[in-house]
Each structure stands twice: as structure tokens, then as C-alpha cells.
Amino acid sequence: MNNFSTYLQEKNFDLWKLANVDHPFVKGLGDGSLPLDKFQYYLKQDYIFLFYYCKVLALASSKSNTENIMSKWVSLLDETLNSEMNLHRNFCKEYGISEAELENTEKDSSTEKYCNFLLKNAEENSIEFIAVSLLPCQWGYQEIGQNLSKNPNLDPKSFNYKWIESYSSPEYQEVTNWLKNYVDEIGKDLNSVNKDIFNKLFQSGIKFEIEFWDSAWNFNNR
């Protein structure tokens, strides 16, 4: 029998594939064809998203019932706050986005909805629900980074190379694999009704991921 994370992925295979393999934004990152203005727009929105993502991770840490579990959530928070967000700040500086512009960026509708979804779920529900809600993003980026890093024609000087390098790094793999394993443990004690509840939460997360990519891809097409 498959573990619970794989069960959730397979139950939503078409959505998962669209979000992490077939979306034109993801494909553009992989082959280097993504226009810089779309990447800049994504960076600014994702910076805001990561700020809220860190709030959710902090809530997960506060709801931990053991020191070991708390330390893992803190590690994930540290990786996001001090590595991933720093990557975004450096990207923005390198590609013409000032610190003031970054800090004054307003959430677009897809970012707003996604942040509200994660934060509301984290405030109202237990740590198990937080873990499942975060998995589509955390695991999806891992899969994208791993898949795109296999391209032998990546230009080391390109912005997409640095992005791919970050999400295929050992540090990112470590914290993501922990979250997957944590969700797998959750699934061991669930009946079919509760599995369905968590599946709907996971599915919602993937849909928000797709909307987030859509928003960046459609920038300047509006």
C-alpha cells in the first residue's frame, strides 16, 4: 500500500501534473524561455506569499506537542525565512527590483486567496491539517527543482538556473522529505472519511498553486 503522501498525489494526479510539470510558467523556467518580466512579477508575489508561509510555519511550531516535532517545524521555518526569502531578495536586487518596491508590493488576488487559505486553516485547525495544506507547495517545488535540474542545457548564468539550484538543493530536499514523512505518519491512523477530508485540503492547495502560476504567467497578457 502506498504511503499517504503518494496517495494524495495520485488522487489528484492531473492537477499535480499541471501544477508541477505541464504549466507554461514551469516549462519556461525549465527551458529558459520564461520572459524576465513574468519572473520578476512572480518573485514579488512569492516574496509576499513566503512571508505568510512563515507565519503558518510558526503556528505549526506553536502547536507541536513534542520537542522533536517542534524542532522540525522550526528547521522548516528557518529554511524558508533565512534561505528561501533571502534568495528572493537577492534575485530582486539582481534583476532590477528595489527593496522599496519589493516591500511595497501589494498582493494580487491569487496571492491573497492562497495566503488567506493557509493562514485560516492554520489558525483554526490542528497541526495535521497545517502539514497537509503546506505539502502541495513544499513538495511541488521540490519536484519542479529536481525535474528541471536534469536539463543538461541549463545556462549557469541564467536566472532560472539559480532558482532551480535552490529548489534542488540538499537543504531543501531535507526539510521537504521530513514534511512528506510527517504527512505519511498522519495517514496511518485515518479512516476513509478522514482521508477524504485531508484529500480535499490537499487538492485545494494544488489548485491555489496553479492559480499562482497562472497569475505570473498571464502578467502583461492582461
Cβ atoms 44, 105 nearer than 8 A: yes
Q: What's the CA gap between 164 and 174, in Å, rounded?
A: 16
How many other C-beta atoms are found inside a 10 Å radius of the C-beta of residue 140?
A: 23
Triad 191, 194, 197: Cα angle to 5°: 150
Identify the CA nearest to 217 among candidates 85, 23, 13.
Answer: 23
DSSP secondary structure string for all residues of 31-66:
HT-S-HHHHHHHHHHHHHHHHHHHHHHHHHHHT-SS
Cβ atoms 211, 110 nearer than 8 A: yes
Give the H or E element holding residue 89.
helix 85-94
Is 34 buried (19+), middle (13-18) or exposed (0-12) by CB count in 10 A? Answer: buried
Q: What's the CA gap between 115 and 49, in Å, rounded?
A: 6
Query: What is the sign of the dihedral through the CA atoms of 46, 48, 54 and 56?
Result: negative
Measured in degrees and rounded to the nearest 5, phi and psi for residue 176 equal: -70, -40
Catalytic positions, written as ranges:
137, 209
